[in-house]
Each structure stands twice: as structure tokens, then as C-alpha cells.
Amino acid sequence: MRKLTKEQKRDIQAIAAKRDEDIDFSDAPAVLDWSGAEIGKFYRPTKKPVTMRLDSDVIAWLKADGRGYQTKANWLLRHAMLSFTSEKSLSKNEGVERRRKARPQRRKSSL
């Protein structure tokens, strides 16, 4: 990104000093039709570094396609998170029945 010129800086300061009521929007028509708008198109959640311990075969699988394995892991976790939260939003009876079918049976410990 190139640096701003003195004139550009001066213009920015002049605009910032104005009150909202003093800004002339007559050359910018009001947007009345929002039907083509996309919600969240430019939203990017903040990233936070974490340390996780993963099985070596999982890491090898993530890295097999080359660069971007962390993005791939994030995408997979996000997909699982959204699936889980949408599953929770089902009605209580539907959700319980669906999870029973998908969940493998746990064996009782013999200890």
C-alpha cells in the first residue's frame, strides 16, 4: 500500500472534522433494494494461536495436500461445529433419536 500524499492527509482531516449532518450525500443515491446483499460476506473471525496434540496420522493426512493444513483443520472443525449446533437446534425428540442412530454403542468396562 502506498503512502498518502500531504493533500490526501489534509482532505482526510477536513472530512473527519465535519459533523455527520454537514456531509453532503446528494451525489450518492440511497440504496433501497437490499435483495442482492450477502450477510457476512466480508466477515472474518479473528484467529487465535493454540497448541493441540493430534495423532501423527491425522497430522500426516492434513499435511498430505501441502500448504494450508491449518486452514483445512480449521474448516473441518468449523464444519463439525456447525453440524453439531444445527443438530442441537432440532426439536428435542428428533435430535435425541438422530443422535442415538449415529452414536456407536459404548461397551461397559470390565474393570
Which is higher by pLDDT, 26 or 88?
A: 26
- Look at residue 60 and tell me if it is in a domain: yes
- Look at residue 91 and tell me if it is in a domain: yes
Q: pLDDT grade, residue 108 (50/70/90)?
A: low
- Look at residue 27 and tell me if it is in a domain: no
Q: How many domains does the chain have?
A: 1
- Look at residue 76 and tell me if it is in a domain: yes
Q: pLDDT grade, residue 48 (50/70/90)?
A: very high
- Look at residue 96 and tell me if it is in a domain: yes
Side-chain-side CA neighbours of 106 within 13 Å: the count stands at 4
Q: Residue 101 above 70 pLDDT?
A: no
- Look at residue 32 and tell me if it is in a domain: no
Interatomic CA distance for residues 86 and 79, integer angstroms: 11
- Cβ atoms < 10 Å from Cβ of 14: 9
The overall average pLDDT reported for the chain is 83
- As a whole number, mean pLDDT of residues 82-101 equals 68
Q: Which domain covers residue 95, as residue numbers?
A: 49-103
Q: Specify whether the CB–CB gap between 55 and 63 falls below 8 A.
A: no
